[in-house]
Chain A
Amino acid sequence: MAAPESGDGNNGAARMVTLISSDNTRFEVEAAAASLSQTLQLTILDGGGGGGDGIPLPNVDSATLSKVLEYCIKHAPAAANGGAPNATAVDRAELERFDNEFVNIDQSVLYSLIMAAHNLEIEGLQSLVAKKVADMIKGKSPMEIRRTLGFPDPTPEEQAEMNAHMLEYGWAYE
């Protein structure tokens, strides 16, 4: 990955920080990438995470953190360019392709990712994973949504509620 442009960011082009997952795995990553997390950003700006210290992330396991960092590393250059006004169409297409591929994962992994993105406040990732779930819901009937998302089949009581809802909100089911 190209070193972020020095300038209005923090000092140094490729400063590294260490993140420690809940299962004590250490990840060394460029500060610019980790700073996509608003949760981490302040700590990093304050000089945390460098040297032998590391920033512990008790809410994120190593498998998830590794995935999260994959996203951050990929997106950091564009973010450093302030939304990449000068990014080429090729760059954007490449990021889009990466994003699509990135969320093509098991639901359990997806939910772990959602939680991590939420806890770490990585805005782009939050949007990406939320959109993935939204896409899983979109255009489906309630029963299809239930099955897609792994809800158990409705109890008779729930079924009756669903029917009543469908009657009342017929427009939503057309």
Chain B
Amino acid sequence: MSFSLFLRYCSITTHLRASVHGDLLDNTRDWDSTELKFGGVNLDLGINKIHIILGTLIQVLSISICVAKNKLYDKKLVLGRYGSEFCVAMSNSSIQTHPHFPILCSLAAPALRTPPARPSTQLATKHLPMASGADHISDLPEGVLHHILSLLPTHDAVRTCVLAHRWRDLWRSAPAVRIFGC
């Protein structure tokens, strides 16, 4: 199946699943300085090189990735930890030169999965007025907030996590690895 078809499919199902299998090769590198290869990557998304930047090593054998309607050609993948979860960022060709492009996502390897978001969070999302009248950014649906986060450089996206509980739960409520595109 071609990638564009795959994307069309995912626009219907919301998420596209792919798999990454590999081992993290190093555990003690800084976010800013390290680029590591992710062994045994099997991604049919045109990703030619993957960089991992991890604060703490956790063995990840299998990660499933959901991609929202998105183009993923020639991107780099950046993994990091956010609290008890992983973050994954993707960028077009260079994170430095494309500050808009990192695609941040929350990733939960099965063994590391935090408990599901509290029901109240889910309800808050569902009870959103569908009307066009969200008067506060936190009233926006989760998918929209994820989209916004996806457009931010990693540093900025992490900073938003301290804004409110709602924003923290954004990450926790991700059912699996999610990469949100721009």
Say how far B61's CB is from chain A's closest CB, in angstroms.
26
Tally inter-chain residue pairs, CB-CB below 8 A.
112
Q: Which of B16-24, B108-116, B144-152 contacts A (4 or more CB under 8 A)?
A: B144-152
Given A22-B131, A137-B152, A171-B30, the answer on whether A165 and B162 have CB atoms closer than 8 Å is yes
Contacts of A105 in B (CB 8 A): none
Q: Once bound together, how far apart are the Cα atoms of A22 and B137, in whole Å?
A: 22
Most A CB contacts (10 A, CB to CB) among B135, B136, B137, B151 go to B137
Interchain CB contact (< 8 A) of A151 among B141, B155, B164: B164
Q: How far is the CB of B166 from chain A (nearest CB, A)?
A: 10
Chain A residues with Cβ below 8 Å from B164 are 151, 158
Find out whether the CB atom of B152 lies under 8 angstroms from the CB atom of A134.
yes
Residue A25 interfacial (CB < 8 Å): no
CB of A28 closer than 8 Å to a CB of B: no
| Distance between A27 CB and nearest chain B CB, rounded to angstroms | 14
Given the known interface contacts A112-B132, A115-B131, A150-B137, the answer about A165 and B161 at a Cβ–Cβ threshold of 8 Å is: yes
B-chain residues with CB within 8 Å of residue A134 when the two chains form the complex: 100, 148-149, 151-152, 156
Question: Which residues on A are within 8 Å of B, measured CB to CB?
Answer: 22, 38, 58-61, 64, 107-108, 111-116, 118-119, 123, 126-127, 130-131, 133-134, 137-142, 145-146, 149-151, 158, 161-162, 165-166, 169, 171-174
